[in-house]
Homo-oligomer: A and B are copies of this chain.
């Protein structure tokens, strides 16, 4: 037989472990029960509940369009969308203004501050504010003596309290289209089965109108547990969460949004600062002389953040394979427990041990090696004696 042929013959062999089959009912039952438990665990928890056969992604691509509707009264004026929504473009983050502190007709110039912390008797008291827009002079104002400031005059006086706009009946229409880029699945936040008439007339409610994309401001506030009259006074930040939890192994139609509502500034409530939400903006005018003046608005608003999150899962070979291999291996690991029982606690444990373990010690190998030498010697005595006398003596020594 040539060498290459021997190599090929050697290569195409099949190696399998030699096993000891223990026909003991007790260990047998324990073995099968352990295996069953491991299989149940994998099937029920790992594969069914945790969906370990799926690859998952939370990187969602989302676009939100909003539209607010409603009319409100503020200072005996009617406000419409163009007046109370900011920014006006219908983005994912928008504010509904509930209260305005309006400082009309401000011109650039010099005037006394309005806040009481700028109270003064002499110019010296105003020096500490220098470097800002305080001029350092103490002047008379309608409220008593105040430090003089430079800038838009007269200064804002936010002590004036106006009644907030009743925005409770305003509605917010939300159009949200998302995509899971990893799986290239695109979805909209209301099913295509809803018709235009229904959508125009419905309002979201978690029980009967789960798919309606129109939200009543009052209801949203109620879901977050907020008191409307408080939030309308101080402003606030409300999150409308749209969660997409999609199992893409099922029909795409079942990939639907789930709405939830939280007050975003709730985490900061303990700090006792930054309660509510407000911002300042100005409308600019020019008089006949071409001089610019402005009306400053301090707007208390409810800010709505439409926050979209998603988690999609879809069957993929790699996690499936890894978990199947882990499952098989774990079933195999069940033998570890049974081995412990078999080899330690069972009657006849030593006999089982003897059956399972074949011991080879170095000394045995030594003996085998020497015997082999001797037997080789006895088989081919003529050849060996002449050139390998050392081996003979060694062999004889060891056999003694």
Contacts and interface: CB of A to CB of B under 8 A. Distances in A.
Top 5 nearest A-B pairs by Cβ distance? A58-B59, A12-B28, A78-B151, A188-B267, A348-B365
A87 interface: yes
A181 to B, nearest CB: 4
Contact of A329 (B310, B325, B369): B325
Contacts of A186: 262, 266-267
Contacts of A195: 271-272
Q: How many copies does the complex hold?
A: 3
Contacts of A199: 271, 273-274
A288 B290 contact: no
A389 B52 CA distance: 61
Interface in A244-301: 262, 264-268, 270-274, 277, 279-286, 288, 290, 292, 294-297, 301
A229 interface: no
Interface string A147-187: 00011100000000000000000000101010101100011
A338 B16 CA distance: 9
A195 B87 CA distance: 32
Scoring A46, A88, A335 by chain B CB atoms within 10 A of each residue's CB, the highest score goes to A88
**Chain A interface SS verdict (over half):** mixed
A272 B62 CA distance: 21
Nearest to A31: B14
10 contacts: A14-B27, A19-B356, A19-B358, A62-B307, A91-B93, A199-B274, A325-B330, A328-B333, A348-B365, A351-B365
A40 interface: no
B348 A368 contact: yes
A286 B288 contact: no
A361 interface: yes
B175 A268 contact: yes
A88 B280 contact: yes
A89 B87 contact: yes
Interface string A112-150: 000000000000000000001100000000000000001
Contacts of A277: 65, 90
A399 interface: no
A342 interface: yes
Nearest to A301: B89
Given A59-B59, A65-B277, A19 B18 contact: yes
Given A50-B317, A318-B50, A329-B328, A285 B282 contact: no
A271 B14 CA distance: 63
Nearest to A105: B290
Contacts of A200: 273
Interface stretch (A220-228, A235-243, A378-386): A235-243
A353 to B, nearest CB: 10
A281 B88 contact: yes
